[in-house]
Chains A and B, each alone.
Chain A
Amino acid sequence: MMQFMLLFSRQGKLRLQKWYVAHPDKLKKKITRELITTVLARKPKMCSFLEWKDVKIVYKRYASLYFCCAMEQEDNELLTLELIHRYVELLDKYFGSVCELDIIFNFEKAYFILDELVLGGELQETSKKNVLKAIAAQDLLQEDETVDAALREEETPQGFFEDHGLG
């Protein structure tokens, strides 16, 4: 089971954090800080695995962004790399050649996609198509609500999702 997933930049800025274990906020921050430092200190030629406390850290760098998962001892490290890759592929499909800025400005979308791929720390869907379908359908639901509201001539809050493409 995945205990948590962190996305952070080469500069050490956190871009996404998903926790599947209950830790107090303070501990989460401590773990994040320590882990970012440790991973960033590793050289590019080194392997993607790191034994860290009682978890196995599996990380991979895509362009300027590090994807970093904490797995339990029984988990398959190589498969975790595939999982990270799958997530990147999904982001790429969704945003159209994704870059760090897409994830910064649309972090909630990145969370939504992750939530359709992984649930409770385990993979829930192995088909890319199904994940993207579910995301598209939910985005549509949101848009419908916006259109409905506009038709009813109500005060329409400019939803945070309206300003796409502003990244």
Chain B
Amino acid sequence: MAYPMYEVDWSVLPPEQNRRFNPAFNIATIKQVVNEAIERVRMPTPTRLRDLIRQIRAARTAAEERSVVNKECAYIRSTFREEDSVWRCRNIAKLLYIHMLGYPAHFGQLECLKLIASPRFTDKRVGYLGAMLLLDERQDVHLLITNCLKNDLNSNTQFVVGLALCTLGAIASPEMARDLASEVERLIKSPNAYIKKKAALCAFRIIRRVPDLMEMFLPATRSLLTEKNHGVLITGVTLITEMCENSPDTLNHFKKIVPNLVRILKNLILAGYSPEHDVSGVSDPFLQVKILRLLRILGKNDAEASEAMNDILAQVATNTETSKNVGNTILYETVLSIMDIKSESSLRVLAINILGRFLLNNDKNIRYVALNTLLRTVHVDTSAVQRHRTTILECLKDPDVSIRRRAMELSFALINGQNIRSMMKELLSFLDRSDAEFKAHCSSAMVLAAERYAPSNKWHLDTLFRVLLKAGNYLRDDTVSSTLQIVSSAAPERQAYAAMRLWSSLERSAVSGDATEKQPLVQVAAWTIGEYGDLLVSEASNAISMVDEDGVDDFVRPSEEYVIDIYQKLLWSTQLSINTKEYLLLSLAKLSTRFTTQPSQDKIRVIIDTFGSHIHIELQQRGVELSQLYRNYAHLRPALLERMPAMEAPAAGPDARDDSDHDPDLSDASPDHKPDQVADALLDLIIGSDSLTNGDVDHKPSQPPPSNNNSSSNDILDLLSGLDLTPTAPSNVMNNNLSAAAPAPAPASLLLDGLFAAPAHINTPVTQVELPTVTALEKNGLRIVFGVQRGGDTVTLTMRASSSASSTLTDFLFQAAVPRTFQLDMMSPSGTVLPPQGEITQVLKITNPSRSALRLRIRVSYNVDGVPVLEQAEVSSFPPELFN
């Protein structure tokens, strides 16, 4: 810091006689230097970008780095406040570095706009860079840039135009695209190739964001293909590809450029070495690939266009050097095009052979691409792909997850009736060692394939059991129910076989303690042993061959007590899910009618009784219910726990599966979706996951069910049993539930009559009740009627839904809404299943303080034969006495 040594202030001599006076220092200079000094103290020169980076890198801990960054950010913020334009560019550059480290930098957004507006190229370059990194189209700030862009798109400097186009291409929001589309269109027609290519890609992005804007670019686009410059050609092809994918009309419009594209491609492969575009001996692979892709789109489902490109595709496929990645890149794209267009069969053979070579390539990337492409083409020519089956199965063992996934999907696509046994063997061992993420998908696909191509029922069951064993808890829920269905509809000796096989697995996992990992297996085993336990322990089981795939028969017929011991071990386990325990408990109850020895009977009874005090309410209820079958209702037990009839396969199943199997992209989405429907249908048919008793009992409607749905009539029975049956004024709850049967306070005997009649009055027509009723809905055999009662401001409506349809309505849900002046209170419905000629009731209490006319909107949803139905209606025809 050189301060001027100038002592004029205290020298008495005139300046010319003062020897220490230096004429270089005049007052103006001094002032400037002083000002600078002050300025420097007030606002020191900002740290240079590279210095900041060095400082940050020197930080040894995260905290240290944070403190450097925070200090710098605070400084940068302060300069932004001071409108300091000299260092703005450097400060933004620093901020961008800080932003990359993950620190917030949004406060630099407006400064970027200021930089862009600066006339200096350096400022613009950094400003646009910042805008691309910091601006977010969810914030309105980004719209401020539109004007700057518009100005710069009209600049005389090509690089300024280039910066603006680059930014627009990267961050164009729909609004910006609309505002600037015409500028971009003008620039596509520019004679300058540098601007032309950038404008073409900008147009591509604009169409991506706002497809409606495509029309205006059409005229300028075609001429792009007549250029010599490869930059313009490749961007032109990209733009046309986007347009063709955008609308079928445009696709037709561009059919006529096929010869142009073929010519460009031909020139590329026939032209001699051109150093500018050469990549390891291949002339401009980037352009070649783009053209091949566009040809594929143009030739799809068009015989004439396909004919025009057959030759060139063959030429590319045979002439491309394949020792390097570039060559394979082009071949890959060519194969895709050949398989997609209506190409000659010889060409297709060529393409499949190329893929076969790819599969054997040492390069993992090439193998991945081959599997990917085979998967896309497997629906076109399965037999050709079948030839590579061994190689594909080999890829299942690849250490690379990307390759394994592809190989797995491809393997499933290749399964057919002839190869199912060998394929499944491979897939089973794959399932065994595969990662968790594959297990769900793989096991479901195996279950479907087994169902479709099973050569025999025994094989089918064996395969399912092995899948159950190996997929463990990753198995989807629907597999349990579909397996149960298959077991239940099998021949009796198969059922015995199933029980024996599953017993072996169950015993093994109970003993080794890994049952928690295989709960679906435990569920299937429990159900099967419960149903066919008598076959398991009987002498007859000796006749059934239990030789497994290794030729070993290690089946030991268990004693009844031992079976019960294993059950006890499992039921006592703390890690099994409630759902699994429900299966086990019910299965145990069933075994009580299958097993004959007294000790086993006693054991079963003890176990069931202990569940009467289980901490989980669901299990407790089952425990109580089942133990009743040993006491008051013992006579019902044998009939109640009879073997279930064979379950029917869901009708919709096979069709849905057919679709998904033919789907070339057996993506995650479709299998995810379809088996669910199957499962739903199945759930309706058989025991649901958590309504075991219900499902079971449904088959014997004649028995008084130990029902577990909290139906109101049961509640009231409980309530009444505690009462002394003295004629008291009925409580509100009773009143609500009984309003249909007992309108006014009635003697207890009458009340009881009404109650005990409740199960029977299912068939009682509603009209018989002497109450004003309002019919709310009458459609498709469903009739909804309101019984009406008034008490002061409160209106009590009793909804009765009755069905004259031939099928049972399930998942019945009644909803109601009232205007705001009312208050609606809905009690729980008497059930959700409405059998033919049956009835569901539900009580609604409406408070009407303003005593205005009652209006009610209702919505009813239910499933009939698996089809969901939704009905809505508005009810306003209530008798006026209700509200005035």
Contact = CB atoms under 8 A, between A and B. Distances in A.
A51 to B, nearest CB: 7
A120 B201 contact: yes
A122 B238 contact: yes
Contacts of A18: 132, 170
Interface in A96-149: 104-105, 107-108, 111-112, 115, 119-130, 134, 137-138, 141-142, 145-146
A96 B100 CA distance: 24
Contacts of A49: 365, 368, 402
A111 B238 CA distance: 22
Interface string A139-167: 00110011000000001011111010011
A48 B50 CA distance: 33
A142 to B, nearest CB: 5
Contacts of A43: 399-400
B97 interface: yes
Given A51-B405, A111-B129, A125-B231, A120 B90 contact: no
Contacts of A163: 48-50
Nearest to B171: A22
Interface of B: 45, 48-50, 53-54, 57, 86-87, 89-90, 93-94, 96-97, 100-102, 104, 106, 120-122, 125-126, 129, 132-133, 136-138, 157, 159, 162, 165-166, 169-173, 194, 197-198, 201-202, 204-205, 208, 230-231, 234-235, 238, 276-277, 279, 284-287, 289, 293, 325-326, 328-329, 332-333, 364-369, 372, 399-403, 405
Q: Lowest 7 A-B CB distances belong to which pairs? A: A120-B169, A47-B364, A78-B329, A160-B49, A120-B205, A46-B400, A119-B201
A44 to B, nearest CB: 11
Contact of A134 (B102, B170, B194): B194
A20 interface: yes
A20 B90 CA distance: 25
B677 to A, nearest CB: 24
Contacts of B97: 107
Contacts of B129: 108, 111-112, 115
Given A45-B400, A157-B86, 15 more contacts: A24-B136, A46-B364, A46-B401, A50-B402, A76-B329, A79-B289, A79-B329, A108-B93, A108-B129, A111-B129, A126-B284, A127-B231, A130-B231, A134-B162, A163-B48
A166 B55 CA distance: 13
Given A24-B138, A134-B159, A82 B89 contact: no
B711 to A, nearest CB: 47
Contact of B89 (A123, A155, A160, A167): A160
A123 B328 contact: no
A126 B234 contact: yes
A80 to B, nearest CB: 9
Interface in A15-31: 15-20, 22, 24-25, 29
A108 to B, nearest CB: 6
B208 A1 contact: yes
A119 B165 contact: yes
Contacts of B170: 18-20, 119-120
Given A122-B201, A125-B197, A14 B102 contact: yes
A101 B794 CA distance: 80
Interface SS of chain B: helix
B50 A166 contact: yes
Contacts of A55: none
A145 B122 contact: yes
A51 B402 contact: yes
Contacts of A74: 293
Contacts of B172: 120
B403 A82 contact: no
Contacts, number: 189
A138 B333 contact: no
17 contacts: A17-B133, A45-B400, A46-B402, A47-B365, A78-B365, A78-B369, A86-B279, A112-B129, A120-B170, A122-B235, A126-B234, A145-B120, A145-B121, A157-B89, A160-B48, A160-B89, A160-B93
B50 A138 contact: no
Contact of B287 (A24, A105, A126, A145): A126
Contact of B369 (A77, A134, A161): A77
B190 to A, nearest CB: 14
Contact of B286 (A17, A82, A107, A155): A82
B254 to A, nearest CB: 17
B230 to A, nearest CB: 5
B121 A22 contact: no
B121 A47 contact: no
Contacts of B329: 76, 78-79, 81-82
A35 interface: no
B169 A108 contact: no
A88 interface: no
A146 B54 CA distance: 24
Contacts of B138: 22, 24
A115 B284 CA distance: 20
Contacts of A120: 169-170, 172, 201-202, 204-205
A57 B300 CA distance: 27
B840 to A, nearest CB: 45
Given A108-B96, A119-B166, A79 B399 contact: no
B100 A16 contact: yes
A156 B653 CA distance: 78
Nearest to A60: B365
Contacts of B87: 157
Contacts of A166: 50, 54
Nearest to A89: B279
Residue among A14, A29, A48 with max Cβ neighbours from chain B (10 Å): A48
Contacts of B279: 82, 86
A76 B53 contact: no
B400 A159 contact: no
Contacts of B171: 22
A160 B50 contact: yes
Contacts of B399: 43, 45-46
Given A24-B136, A47-B402, A123 B234 contact: yes
Contacts of A25: 104, 106, 136
Contacts of B166: 115, 119
A162 to B, nearest CB: 8
Interface in A45-95: 45-51, 74, 76-79, 81-83, 86
A77 B49 CA distance: 36
Nearest to B126: A108
A157 to B, nearest CB: 5
B332 A137 contact: no
A52 to B, nearest CB: 10
Q: Which of A24, A78, A155, A166 has the most CB atoms of chain B within a 10 A radius of its CB?
A: A78
B50 A79 contact: no
